[in-house]
Amino acid sequence: MNDLNLNKPMLPPLPAAPLATITATPSPLPLAGIRVIEFTHMVMGPTCGMVLADLGAEVIKVEPIGGDNTRKLLGSGAGFFAMFNRNKKSIALDLHQPEGKEAALKLIATADVVSENFKPDTMRKLGLDYSSLKKLNERLIYVSHKGFLPGPYDHRTALDEVVQMMGGLAYMTGRPGDPLRAGSSVNDIMGGMFGAIGAMAALMQRAQTGKGQEVQSALFENNVFLVAQHMMQFAITGKAAAPMPARISAWAIYDVFTVKDHEQIFLAVVSDTQWAIFCDAFGYGDLKTDPRLQCNNARVQAREWMMPVLRARLAEHSAHALSTLFEKHGLPFAPITRPHDLFDDPHLQATGGLASIRLPDGNTTRTPLLPLTLDGQRPGVRLNPPQLGEHNEEVLRGLGYADEQIRQMITNRIIFQEKPA
């Protein structure tokens, strides 16, 4: 640590961190006691940290002085930071100043896992790549989230939409001749999840060997995994998979129907037993006994004439009436829901699938939790999405920094903390 100028005027007392919203959480969580230091931005890396944090790890997010850029995104990116950075602490460090890098190295020395998702040379230039850090701690697990695993493409800049286009997912999602990205950051999110899976696997192996390792997860390879079923379809049948809107469905009734008052609803009848139940429920005896419709494969082949008949008949019913009847008889159905409608979903509300959080701007909202239970409970929110540098003092004190040293780092903009909203 460089010597500090103690002749500078004293700064005001450091503010205490605000309290976090607490939700029901299994105790103890499986990753309690694991410390993760993340150098991440956007979605992929932060998702990895969020999963590990939700499962109990202490995750410390090292941000640049200006903060993770997703704090400022508009439009479809406006929800990124709030969604993928709960249960984390934030420290804002200038890694380009010697004191900032020194603090980062001291922090990494306390870590079980380091996670990053920057361009390949970024961490190397800072001396924070795996090759450099493993010399300091052979037990360290280092998770890299990239566009591509090492190979001919690894120099390219990748985004979720880029790999969806080159990896076959956009082709499968759109209509023929009209490739369309999926309606969520599926590769970023799943790539982060696979990074977390790799980190947990490496922790398990370290318990046996005493040694850490590097884990790599990548957008392109994740996308290939998502379309692997269609690759295998071609390998088995010799026929290329058609885009989903133009595919020959494996089931005869598996469609969106426009019904009374121009409402829409998804209805499915996917077995011969369900077909009999469906016909009985709606009084379609003529269809039930039609020799051309006696098994699922026959109904698939009859879709050209059968579906117009069903669409005309079902159009007489409201979406609510169809939902009620399908639910009563155990048949698959779904309303066509917009994402923001899910805040009012009765199932999510009743099962604790949404937890209250406070946003860095001071507003409150609810956020979806991990889609799993541990001992019957959903891992919840222990810490709100942090303000930039909210945990500077807590983290640095834990590394042995004195208050006056911390004040000097604030003065020299080696660390930065946003004022509470």
| HEC per residue, the chain | CCCCCCCCCCCCCCCCCCCCCCCCCCCCCCCCCCEEEEECCCCHHHHHHHHHHHCCCEEEEEECCCCCHHHHCCHHHCCHHHHHCCCEEEEEECCCCHHHHHHHHHHHCCCCEEEECCCHHHHHHCCCCHHHHCCCCCCCEEEEEECCCCCCCCCCCCCHHHHHHHCCHHHHHCECCECCCCCCCHHHHHHHHHHHHHHHHHHHHHHHHCCCCEEEEEHHHHHHHHCHHHHHHHHHHCCCCCCHHHCCCCCCEEEEEECHHHCEEEEEECCHHHHHHHHHHHCCHHHHHCHHHCCHHHHHHCHHHHHHHHHHHHCCCCHHHHHHHHHHCCCCEEECCCHHHHHHCHHHHHHCCEEEEECCCCCEEEEECCCCCECCECCCCCCCCCCCCCCHHHHHHHCCCCHHHHHHHHHCCCEECCCCC
Distance CA 253, CA 271 (A): 10
CA distances from 77 to 71, 73, 82, 92 (A): 9, 5, 10, 21
Tell whether omega for the bond before 179 is within 30 degrees of 0, i.e. cis. Answer: no
Q: Are 314 and 257 in contact (CB under 8 A)?
A: yes
Which among 112, 178, 188, 375 is annotated as catalytic? 188
Structure tokens at 389: 């540098």
Annotated active-site residue 178? The verdict is no
Active site residues: 188
